[in-house]
Amino acid sequence: MSRAGNSRLFLNSQLKRLLGTLVVGVAVVATASADTTDKIVDLPVLEQEKQHSIAAKRISNTFTRAHYKKFEIDDELSEQIFDRYIDALDSNKHFFLRSDVKKFEGFTKEFDDAVRVGDLTIAYSIYMLNLERRKERFNYAITLLEDGFDFEKEGDKFFYDREDADWSNSLDEVNEVWRQRVKYDALSLKLAEKTDEEIKDILTKRYNRAIRRLTQTNSEDVFQTVMNSFARSIEAHTSYLSPSRTERFQMDMNLSLEGIGAVLRTEDDHTTVVSVVAGGPADKNGQVKPEDKILGVAQEDDKSFTDVVGWRLDDVVELIKGPKGSVVRLQVQKGGTSTKQVLELAITRDKVKLEDKAAKAEVIKDESGQNIGVIDIPSFYHNLHVDVRTLLAELKDKQVKGIIVDLRGNGGGSLPEAIALSGLFIEKGPIVQIRHESGQIEVNYDRDGQIIYDGPLTVLVDRFSASASEIFAAAMQDFNRAIIIGEQTFGKGTVQQHRPLGRIYDFFENKLGAVQYTMAKFYRISGGSTQHKGVLPDISYPSPINPEEWGESREENALPWDSIQKAKYNQVTDSHRMIDMLTAKHNARAMKDPEFQYIFEDIKEYNENKDRKYISLVKSERIAENQESDDKRLQRINERLVRLGLAKIESLDDEIPDVLDDIDPFLDEAVQITGDMIASGSYALNI
């Protein structure tokens, strides 16, 4: 489409025709299920608000002017925005019919003009139909509860992952999708020992509550959805923040919040864990992981859980938050498992603040009795390098022969701290290169001419080590200062900027939000980007995580890997000749280590089930799967207890000794690798 010559009259006439066909489509489906609706619920009529037109123009202007990625707002981008918008509204193809999507396709090339001129009428009309379809589906779900389900129907399955499925061609097809979904919800409650009446009551309330929440949808919800579809069509870490999310962002930056320390988002009516904050209560609990779904929330003294499926994210967050020292109980469905296991766990709330994530050190002896220092760094917070300098002095006093820097789960933080931390282990030199939106390349140096620790050094990383963690690990690897151990890191090599959309001269009744966009890219001193590839370890640990399935490479529209000119630096040692020897010794130990055997077994099981997109709806099969999982867990617990010289337990309901929480085979093996490195006698800095 041309930038300014579009006829809005033509667009509006097209929309009227579209809206006419949509109303007919709604009427047809509503008639087909009219006798199934218990009560009439009026959905809100959503229209674009005055400030949204200005906000859309400011967003598009900011992105085209200042974003690292150069792009045009044209028909090609318009099609991407459309696809992402439909996906945002119905990613699992549970609501729209194929006929609905076909009606929308006439407007795939109108979204570029919509965001540029700030007229989002198309997006609002599509969103309204999505609300109608959701209401119809939830009303239908309630009718399925009347007659109950046969939980021993042979071969019955719930296909929970429909991302790549076709759109339903008819009402019968989408009804079958929902029969599976409702039966899955019912069976999950049945396995939790709920009676048939309790199941009917819980799910009826859940689906009615979902319908009521549709009535709470507001104009900002639509605007946020379509503008994020635009933002993510440009690049993976570019986004629009609504006024409420902007306020929460500022609170996160300036205050310590009381809660569990988990980043959450809504996915298909479920509140899903994106990540846990290092050092926070959820992290310390150890049972909450990314991809887990929160099904229910209860306070410490509550007898039952409040079902939160279908709730707005803000409301779930308010239920989980609470004063320091209080207990919140969560009903969590584990993500990434074939059995979709549901756990109940208790977390003591605490202040989630930067100071709680401070680096700490301990001393562990390797097999030969040598003292190995371990510095655990959960994030790159302000003055991290000062704390680590102190810890290094303490470890020297304890006569350590080598040091491990543990960056597992460290999602990054301050770039200056990554540079300053690197400077503790080298005398001076470049640490990271940054290419800005203008194309200018900036080299960041450590210039103090001091080295605080010059002994043997290893760095332990995993797939969740990102950003500043990758800068430090890459610098240590490029200088040959340390041996990197673990998994390929996350691969986030971009820098984002946060910018409010409001201006001092604005007089809108409602506030404008903010944008976050990528404005620079990190590069190693060897020239390659950390984007996508991350840091490849010198000695790799077994991992069930395929880099293509988790990390930056999994993000849609992430910037590609590329390289620039190498910076000028000299390697400080020659560790390459040691790596083959250290790897061979590591592999020999891993083949004998029971904990590594568990890891190999879990990887094999994961690979066998990772492409399975369904779960059985046969109660006896699910009970058998859960029992098999519980039996394996109990067996491993008892095997560990025997190795520690402790008494076995009879069942998982027994109290499990806390000492098992301290078992960390990856850290233990890093200690042995570091010990091997010291014992080789070939380590020395060229300074």
Q: List the catalytic residues.
A: 467, 478, 492
Q: Residue 528 has what DSSP assignment? A: B
Q: What angle do CA 41, 42, 43 make, to 5 degrees?
A: 115
Question: How far is 413 from 495, CA to CA, in rounded Å?
Answer: 11
Burial class (CB in 10 A: 0-12, 13-18, 19+), 643: exposed
Question: How far is 543 from 540, CA to CA, in rounded Å?
Answer: 9
Show the DSSP H helices in 148-195 as ranges.
Answer: 171-191
Show the DSSP H helices in 451-575 as ranges.
Answer: 468-478
Burial class (CB in 10 A: 0-12, 13-18, 19+), 463: buried
Question: How far is 567 from 443, CA to CA, in rounded Å?
Answer: 8
Question: How far is 173 from 494, CA to CA, in rounded Å?
Answer: 43
| 3-class DSSP state of 480 | coil
Query: Biggest alpha carbon distance in the chain?
Result: 83
- Note whether 296 and 330 are within 8 A (CB): yes
What is the token pair recorded at 228? Answer: 């994020």
Which segments within 505-544 are labelled E, that is strand?
Answer: 514-523, 539-540
- Partner residues linked to 514 by β-bridges: 241, 500
Question: How far is 446 from 37, CA to CA, in rounded Å?
Answer: 68
* Mode of pairing for the β-strands spanning 457-461 and 483-486: parallel
Q: What is the CA radius of gyration of the chain?
A: 27
Show the DSSP H helices in 333-408 as ranges.
Answer: 384-397
Q: Residue 599 has what DSSP assignment? A: H
Question: How far is 334 from 103, CA to CA, in rounded Å?
Answer: 37
Question: How far is 485 from 674, CA to CA, in rounded Å?
Answer: 10
Buried b (16+ CB within 10 A) or exposed e, 257-267: bbbbbbebeee
Question: How far is 114 from 239, CA to CA, in rounded Å?
Answer: 17
Question: How far is 533 from 553, CA to CA, in rounded Å?
Answer: 8
Q: Which of 163, 165, 209, 177 is nearest to 95 (CA)?
A: 177
Neighbours of 291 (CB within 10 A): 15
Question: How far is 655 from 641, CA to CA, in rounded Å?
Answer: 12
Question: How far is 569 from 525, CA to CA, in rounded Å?
Answer: 8
| 3-class DSSP state of 297 | strand
Burial class (CB in 10 A: 0-12, 13-18, 19+), 345: middle
- The single-letter code of the amino acid at 637 is I
Show the DSSP H helices in 41-158 as ranges.
Answer: 50-66, 75-89, 98-104, 111-117, 121-144
Q: What angle do CA 250, 252, 257 make, to 5 degrees?
A: 130
| 3-class DSSP state of 329 | strand
What is the token pair recorded at 54? Answer: 């200005």
Burial class (CB in 10 A: 0-12, 13-18, 19+), 39: exposed
| 3-class DSSP state of 248 | helix
